[in-house]
Chains A and B, each alone.
Chain A
């Protein structure tokens, strides 16, 4: 079964750090670009970051650039998001998503992991 499973969410104080992980299974992870997308409570989807299959191309939303770092380990079939200098507005469900066709068409999504930034 093709699957993405996020982990690492939780409650963190403003200014703190958190590292999210996304474990992929059921497909050749190293062949696909991957993304992080977040959704604040009651709000819409926000694209956060993308990384190409070989990590050659990495992009960030302006709202997280300089604070978040995306990475992947193709040997471990895993995607990561290191989040530093967290703010209240980073509170959201974070999804990892596969870009099946390099069209920013996300065909496989994880169940999401909740990140809450609060004192």
Chain B
């Protein structure tokens, strides 16, 4: 089965730029999606496809991909961006897979 690997924790100073990465062989063939989850809440989709933001997601969130690595970039991080971030995709058999999640701290 395919796996997606994320750094467990990342920190960023308020107003600075942070990149959260997701690695996995399946990302060479399929796009990653990114989710933000705050305590006690359901996840929220923030990036999907090549670099698409659902309605209502601030444009400081962007996505990119190179080889087996997908990245979520937050340009000008805000206090409200402090959350857990998850990537997900699919594998070649059609099954879904999530990364282990990255806890983002905004200092």
A45 to B41, CA, bound (A): 12
Q: Is the interface of B mostly helix, strand, loop or mixed?
A: strand
- Contact A104 B1, beta carbon cutoff 8 Å: no
Once the chains bind, are A61 and B95 in contact (CB under 8 Å)? yes
Contact-residue bracket for chain A:
20 to 34
Most buried by A among B45, B49, B96: B96
Closest A residue to B34 by CB, please name it: A105
* Stretch of A7-15, A19-27, A84-92, A108-116 that contacts chain B: A108-116
Closest chain B residue to A46, Cβ basis: B98
User: Contact between A59 and B48 (Cβ–Cβ < 8 Å)?
Assistant: no
Residues of A close to B100: CB separation below 8 A: 44
Asked if B33 contacts A104 (CB within 8 A), the reply is yes
Q: Which residue of chain A has its CB nearest to the CB of B96?
A: A47
**A107 interface contact, C-beta 8 A:** yes
Specify which chain B residues have a CB less than 8 angstroms from the CB of A44 in the assembled complex.
Answer: 84, 86, 98-101
- Which chain A positions have C-beta within 8 A of B44? 109
Would you call A62 an interface residue if the criterion is a C-beta within 8 Å of the partner chain's C-beta atoms?
yes
Per the bound structure, the CA–CA distance linking A111 and B42 in Å amounts to 6
In the bound complex, residues from chain B placing their C-beta under 8 Å from that of A103 are 30-31, 33, 48-49, 90
Q: Is A60 an interface residue (CB 8 A)?
A: yes
Residue B89 is within 8 A (CB to CB) of chain A in the complex: yes
Q: Report which A residues bind B (CB closer than 8 A).
A: 35, 37, 44-47, 50, 57, 59-62, 95, 100-101, 103-107, 109-112
Can you list 8 residue pairs at the A/B interface with Cβ under 8 Å?
A44-B101, A45-B43, A47-B88, A57-B94, A104-B30, A105-B49, A106-B33, A106-B88
- Which 7 A/B pairs are nearest by Cβ-Cβ distance? A105-B48, A47-B96, A109-B42, A105-B33, A44-B101, A45-B98, A104-B90
